[in-house]
Protein backbone atom coordinates (compact mmCIF):
# COMPACT_ATOMS: atom_id res chain seq x y z
CA UNK A 1 0.00 0.00 0.00
CA UNK A 2 2.86 2.38 0.84
CA UNK A 3 4.58 1.54 -2.43
CA UNK A 4 1.44 2.36 -4.42
CA UNK A 5 1.05 5.69 -2.63
CA UNK A 6 4.70 6.52 -3.24
CA UNK A 7 4.35 5.59 -6.91
CA UNK A 8 1.30 7.87 -7.20
CA UNK A 9 3.17 10.73 -5.53
CA UNK A 10 6.09 10.24 -7.93
CA UNK A 11 3.74 10.18 -10.93
CA UNK A 12 2.05 13.39 -9.72
CA UNK A 13 5.44 15.09 -9.29
CA UNK A 14 6.52 13.92 -12.76
CA UNK A 15 3.33 15.40 -14.24
CA UNK A 16 4.06 18.69 -12.47
CA UNK A 17 7.59 18.82 -13.91
CA UNK A 18 6.24 17.91 -17.37
CA UNK A 19 3.67 20.72 -17.08
CA UNK A 20 6.40 23.17 -16.06
CA UNK A 21 8.52 22.16 -19.06
CA UNK A 22 5.47 22.40 -21.32
CA UNK A 23 4.73 25.93 -20.12
CA UNK A 24 8.34 26.92 -20.80
CA UNK A 25 8.23 25.55 -24.34
CA UNK A 26 5.01 27.39 -25.26
CA UNK A 27 6.31 30.84 -24.32
CA UNK A 28 7.58 33.32 -26.88
CA UNK A 29 11.24 34.28 -26.48
CA UNK A 30 12.16 36.78 -23.76
CA UNK A 31 9.04 36.05 -21.68
CA UNK A 32 8.99 34.54 -18.23
CA UNK A 33 6.97 31.46 -17.38
CA UNK A 34 5.16 31.02 -14.12
CA UNK A 35 7.12 28.76 -11.80
CA UNK A 36 5.08 25.81 -10.55
CA UNK A 37 7.77 24.27 -8.35
CA UNK A 38 8.18 24.79 -4.58
CA UNK A 39 5.09 26.99 -4.22
CA UNK A 40 3.56 28.13 -0.94
CA UNK A 41 -0.21 27.94 -0.41
CA UNK A 42 -0.84 31.65 -1.12
CA UNK A 43 1.14 31.34 -4.36
CA UNK A 44 -0.83 28.22 -5.25
CA UNK A 45 -4.14 30.04 -4.69
CA UNK A 46 -3.08 32.91 -6.94
CA UNK A 47 -1.79 30.69 -9.76
CA UNK A 48 -4.81 28.38 -9.62
CA UNK A 49 -7.35 31.21 -9.74
CA UNK A 50 -5.59 33.53 -12.18
CA UNK A 51 -3.36 31.58 -14.53
CA UNK A 52 -3.97 27.86 -14.97
CA UNK A 53 -6.76 26.16 -16.90
CA UNK A 54 -8.58 23.23 -15.28
CA UNK A 55 -6.38 20.33 -16.48
CA UNK A 56 -3.28 22.26 -15.40
CA UNK A 57 -4.88 23.12 -12.05
CA UNK A 58 -5.72 19.46 -11.49
CA UNK A 59 -2.10 18.44 -12.09
CA UNK A 60 -0.84 21.11 -9.67
CA UNK A 61 -3.35 20.30 -6.92
CA UNK A 62 -2.55 16.60 -7.12
CA UNK A 63 1.21 17.17 -7.12
CA UNK A 64 0.98 19.35 -4.01
CA UNK A 65 -1.76 17.22 -2.43
CA UNK A 66 -3.49 20.58 -2.04
CA UNK A 67 -7.01 20.91 -0.62
CA UNK A 68 -8.60 23.00 -3.34
CA UNK A 69 -11.50 25.41 -2.95
CA UNK A 70 -13.11 24.45 -6.27
CA UNK A 71 -16.01 26.86 -5.69
CA UNK A 72 -13.52 29.74 -5.57
CA UNK A 73 -11.79 28.56 -8.74
CA UNK A 74 -15.06 27.99 -10.60
CA UNK A 75 -16.27 31.42 -9.50
CA UNK A 76 -13.10 33.14 -10.71
CA UNK A 77 -12.78 31.24 -13.98
CA UNK A 78 -16.44 30.76 -14.92
CA UNK A 79 -18.39 33.65 -13.41
CA UNK A 80 -15.81 36.45 -13.45
CA UNK A 81 -13.78 35.47 -16.53
CA UNK A 82 -16.48 33.64 -18.51
CA UNK A 83 -14.35 30.54 -19.08
CA UNK A 84 -17.12 27.99 -19.65
CA UNK A 85 -14.54 25.45 -20.83
CA UNK A 86 -13.16 25.41 -17.27
CA UNK A 87 -16.56 24.33 -15.95
CA UNK A 88 -17.03 21.68 -18.65
CA UNK A 89 -13.58 20.22 -17.96
CA UNK A 90 -14.24 20.30 -14.20
CA UNK A 91 -17.49 18.40 -14.71
CA UNK A 92 -15.71 15.70 -16.73
CA UNK A 93 -13.66 14.83 -13.62
CA UNK A 94 -15.80 15.97 -10.66
CA UNK A 95 -19.45 16.27 -9.71
CA UNK A 96 -20.84 19.78 -9.73
CA UNK A 97 -22.30 19.72 -6.23
CA UNK A 98 -25.00 21.92 -4.75
CA UNK A 99 -22.44 23.16 -2.22
CA UNK A 100 -20.13 24.44 -4.96
CA UNK A 101 -22.94 26.21 -6.81
CA UNK A 102 -24.38 27.65 -3.57
CA UNK A 103 -20.94 29.00 -2.66
CA UNK A 104 -20.61 30.59 -6.11
CA UNK A 105 -24.12 32.07 -5.74
CA UNK A 106 -23.16 33.53 -2.35
CA UNK A 107 -20.05 35.15 -3.84
CA UNK A 108 -22.12 36.42 -6.77
CA UNK A 109 -24.68 37.97 -4.39
CA UNK A 110 -21.89 39.85 -2.59
CA UNK A 111 -20.58 41.45 -5.80
CA UNK A 112 -20.85 45.23 -5.86
CA UNK A 113 -21.07 45.46 -9.64
CA UNK A 114 -22.62 42.67 -11.72
CA UNK A 115 -22.44 42.92 -15.50
CA UNK A 116 -24.44 41.07 -18.17
CA UNK A 117 -21.78 38.47 -18.82
CA UNK A 118 -21.62 37.63 -15.10
CA UNK A 119 -25.41 37.17 -15.09
CA UNK A 120 -25.21 34.85 -18.10
CA UNK A 121 -22.29 32.95 -16.57
CA UNK A 122 -24.15 32.47 -13.27
CA UNK A 123 -27.22 31.26 -15.15
CA UNK A 124 -25.04 28.77 -17.03
CA UNK A 125 -23.60 27.47 -13.76
CA UNK A 126 -27.03 27.09 -12.14
CA UNK A 127 -28.39 25.39 -15.27
CA UNK A 128 -25.71 22.68 -14.97
CA UNK A 129 -26.87 21.75 -11.46
CA UNK A 130 -28.67 18.40 -11.26
CA UNK A 131 -30.24 19.02 -7.82
CA UNK A 132 -33.68 20.29 -8.85
CA UNK A 133 -34.62 21.85 -5.50
CA UNK A 134 -31.31 23.67 -5.14
CA UNK A 135 -31.45 24.84 -8.76
CA UNK A 136 -34.97 26.22 -8.23
CA UNK A 137 -34.08 27.92 -4.94
CA UNK A 138 -30.93 29.56 -6.32
CA UNK A 139 -32.67 30.70 -9.51
CA UNK A 140 -35.46 32.19 -7.36
CA UNK A 141 -33.03 33.88 -4.96
CA UNK A 142 -31.03 35.44 -7.78
CA UNK A 143 -34.10 36.51 -9.75
CA UNK A 144 -33.46 34.25 -12.74
CA UNK A 145 -37.13 34.03 -13.75
CA UNK A 146 -36.32 32.38 -17.07
CA UNK A 147 -34.75 29.39 -15.30
CA UNK A 148 -37.63 29.20 -12.78
CA UNK A 149 -40.27 29.31 -15.52
CA UNK A 150 -38.40 26.76 -17.62
CA UNK A 151 -38.29 24.42 -14.63
CA UNK A 152 -41.97 24.90 -13.77
CA UNK A 153 -42.95 24.28 -17.41
CA UNK A 154 -40.78 21.16 -17.67
CA UNK A 155 -43.08 18.11 -17.53
CA UNK A 156 -40.41 16.06 -15.74
CA UNK A 157 -39.78 18.43 -12.82
CA UNK A 158 -42.53 21.06 -13.00
CA UNK A 159 -45.17 18.93 -11.27
CA UNK A 160 -42.77 17.96 -8.52
CA UNK A 161 -41.80 21.59 -7.90
CA UNK A 162 -45.43 22.75 -7.93
CA UNK A 163 -46.37 20.04 -5.41
CA UNK A 164 -43.44 20.74 -3.07
CA UNK A 165 -41.40 23.93 -3.05
CA UNK A 166 -43.59 26.16 -5.23
CA UNK A 167 -46.81 25.20 -3.41
CA UNK A 168 -45.53 26.03 0.07
CA UNK A 169 -43.50 28.95 -1.20
CA UNK A 170 -39.81 29.48 -0.99
CA UNK A 171 -38.25 31.38 1.88
CA UNK A 172 -34.54 31.97 2.08
Cβ(126)–Cβ(139) under 8 Å? yes
Please check the confidence at residue 172 and state whether its pLDDT lies above 80: no
27-81 confidence digits (pLDDT tens): 888 888 899 999 999 999 999 999 999 999 999 999 999 999 999 999 999 999 9
Say which DSSP state 37 is in: S
Instruction: Give alpha helix (H) positions in 27-97.
Output: 41-50, 54-64, 70-74, 84-93
pTM of the model: 0.86
Per-residue pLDDT averaged across 105-124, rounded?
97
Per-residue pLDDT averaged across 150-158, rounded?
85
Amino acid sequence: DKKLNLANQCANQAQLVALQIGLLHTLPQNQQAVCLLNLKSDELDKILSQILNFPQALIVTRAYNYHTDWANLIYHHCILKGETKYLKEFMMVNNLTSTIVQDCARRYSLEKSINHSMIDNMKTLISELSDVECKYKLASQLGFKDIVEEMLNNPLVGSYLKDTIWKKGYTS
